[in-house]
Structure 1
């Protein structure tokens, strides 16, 4: 194995006899990991910049398979760099296709828990924030991870980073219990086993299972035989470790059997940030992701969480404003020397939008208006006046007190109720001037 010029890399293994030694402009200096999708190598260019090179197990001789692969990788490249390892380019022309991405130095979450025990306290909160921030960024680019698990979360110096997003769908790994995904069964959503549509709710389920593993050292549906785990995922409630109340509630919602019952990644992020007071006002998606990124990347677990002061330019839910120019997040630089043999065309990462419902007032406005109108003195006086007029008209018509009183009462009730309903429907009291 070639010697690295920089610091040792945790988990780096020697190249096997038949492993390639180069990939485009990179020397392959060791194995970072291997799975059903392929082998991941540590690559190094002439300047000493490191990247992760994934040699994927896919046959691109079929034009349709090739087109799908290129499309998915192009989408992955559009993901904003918040708590993710950026995809740099993909090579599809050679005999062995590969994907080059930013190399994040650090232990995977799986290895960290195995060697050092579960994650607790503020560190667990920041892990949850960082990983769901990554999912929100991934989903906003139209990408579904499809294979989120503890092995695909790297605990870098600047916080957790999610890796390998989009690769599973690029390879067409959407089968239910195929040999290529048996290793991730414990983190797969129920709809995967029912052969239903794959979408962002699958990632939200996997996120919850991953955080539960981080907190307790085991997946919430076990990790024994394939069919036992499948049965529990489909039918049994999760077995969760002791968690903070807010996080416990979120995890249980995200592990719902019905994907429609799971909150979106952005909503999960907002609730986590509200828990510690980091965000209390409406934020554009990009601002929200930046806050999540900063919270997850706090230097040590005991440091105070960063606070955000919303600015006047942030749109209110009822008063949308024009999107502000995207801000460039502070992230580690990635190698710029590499040039793809066949670059994948990219498009702008994302457009800032208002997070739906963040900071919006709750329901109950109609009830408050109804109560206010019921006690409005002007309205009651008007109804009494018209009721008296009705009594007088009834007395003139019948010359009897009983029918006149009944006519007055009916007039009062009808006038009072009609005015009450009309005033409530139009949203406020009239101007009494």
Structure 2
């Protein structure tokens, strides 16, 4: 994965396109196993993220069919707490998908540089990511690769990116086209390791791992090697030491080994809000009004220098501390704004 440099990311390289359809490309934002992400600009000046699919994948008929199905489904996802798909080229080379440009660090980068999220920021993160999953599942999609690098901390709240597209890499007779797992092992659900179907409950497990990382600075099944991590995911209890009690109980429930016993996404939201049935659309609007933003959220800890001005939809910034990567992919506030009441806690934002 390349590192961003300057306002427009890394400079375009020889051979990179200058334009794709109506989009002018300004720079490279990253590269992963599926393709290269560029910062693009529409004719009216609005910036977008453009993910161009690798030629070797685009040349496979089965991949193109899966990619078309998954992007078509992703375009149905409601916008709240996600980076919506705006456009796509599904028929002619090069294949690409265009999403909203989200400015702000990934959760992975923010926690690695500034430490765990405190208090109401953690609760807001938990609610925001669960709200995004409600929108994604509502469109009939399972994210499949929810991890800290795929959660961006924008000025209007957490945004989940790269939903559904990972499935295009799956082969009909195995977990992926290469027989490996796509994603970061610490955030994979145990049923995937057992060869069982991936369902919305699988995303709930990944949600629990992401929130645990956000609140402690470490993945709950972190280890030094991929086999060690996978063993812990499948058999060990999660490490939740230091996780805020306001979210610990619901996170522990989400990390159950049996997907049938995990709470649904709606259950997560109901328990986090703490007053009846939660409406994801209204929660998304509340988050916009009460979210502290990516920088103020870490006012307790001086930020270490960073040369990365923004993360972007479709770009994974790397691996979380203590995690190996499989599949080749790579001021605590006393006054809380009204919005969410976590179990056993006061009001939070």
TM range (shorter): 0.7 to 0.9
User: Secondary structure at 1:59's aligned position in 2?
Assistant: helix
* Residues 87 and 97, structure 2, Cα contact 8 Å, conserved in 1: yes
CA distance in 1, matches of 2:39, 2:21: 13
TM-score by length of 1: 0.63
Q: Find the counterpart in structure 2 of residue 162 from structure 1.
A: 160
Q: Find the counterpart in structure 1 of residue 309 from structure 2.
A: none
Answer with 1 or 2: which has the greater Rg: 1
Match of 1:117 among 115, 118, 127: 115
User: Secondary structure at 2:120's aligned position in 1?
Assistant: helix
The structure-2 alpha-carbon separation of the partners of 1:141 and 1:14, relative to structure 1 and needing over 3 Å to count, comes to same
The structure-2 alpha-carbon separation of the partners of 1:60 and 1:44, relative to structure 1 and needing over 3 Å to count, comes to same
CA distance in 2, matches of 1:128, 1:296: 11
CA distance in 1, matches of 2:25, 2:12: 8
TM-score by length of 2: 0.77
User: Secondary structure at 2:36's aligned position in 1?
Assistant: strand
User: Secondary structure at 1:211's aligned position in 2?
Assistant: helix
Q: Find the counterpart in structure 1 of residue 283 from structure 2.
A: 292
User: Secondary structure at 1:293's aligned position in 2?
Assistant: helix
CA distance in 2, matches of 1:294, 1:205: 25
Q: Find the counterpart in structure 2 of residue 211 from structure 1.
A: 211
* Number of equivalenced pairs: 291
How far has the Cα of 1:185 moved from its partner?
1.1
* Residues 176 and 193, structure 1, Cα contact 8 Å, conserved in 2: no
CA distance in 2, matches of 1:124, 1:175: 32
How far has the Cα of 1:68 moved from its partner?
2.4
- Structure 1 residue 65 and structure 2 residue 98: aligned? no
How far has the Cα of 1:128 moved from its partner?
0.4
CA distance in 1, matches of 2:57, 2:86: 21
Unaligned runs of 5+ in 1: 1-6, 309-433
Q: Find the counterpart in structure 2 of residue 304 from structure 1.
A: 337
The structure-2 alpha-carbon separation of the partners of 1:131 and 1:307, relative to structure 1 and needing over 3 Å to count, comes to closer
- Structure 1 residue 51 and structure 2 residue 48: aligned? yes
User: Secondary structure at 2:184's aligned position in 1?
Assistant: helix
The structure-2 alpha-carbon separation of the partners of 1:55 and 1:263, relative to structure 1 and needing over 3 Å to count, comes to same
Unaligned runs of 5+ in 2: 1-5, 298-332, 342-349
CA distance in 2, matches of 1:227, 1:295: 41
CA distance in 2, matches of 1:81, 1:212: 25
Return structure 1 stretches of 4+ with deviation > 4 angstroms: 60-64, 176-183
Query: Which shows bigger deviation, 127-136 or 183-192?
Result: 183-192
The structure-2 alpha-carbon separation of the partners of 1:98 and 1:217, relative to structure 1 and needing over 3 Å to count, comes to same
CA distance in 1, matches of 2:109, 2:83: 18
Q: Which has the higher contact order (CA 8 A, sep 6+)?
A: 2
CA distance in 1, matches of 2:224, 2:18: 37
User: Secondary structure at 2:284's aligned position in 1?
Assistant: helix
Query: Which shows bigger deviation, 105-114 or 167-176?
Result: 167-176
* Residues 208 and 251, structure 1, Cα contact 8 Å, conserved in 2: yes
Instruction: State the Cα RMSD in Å.
Output: 2.4
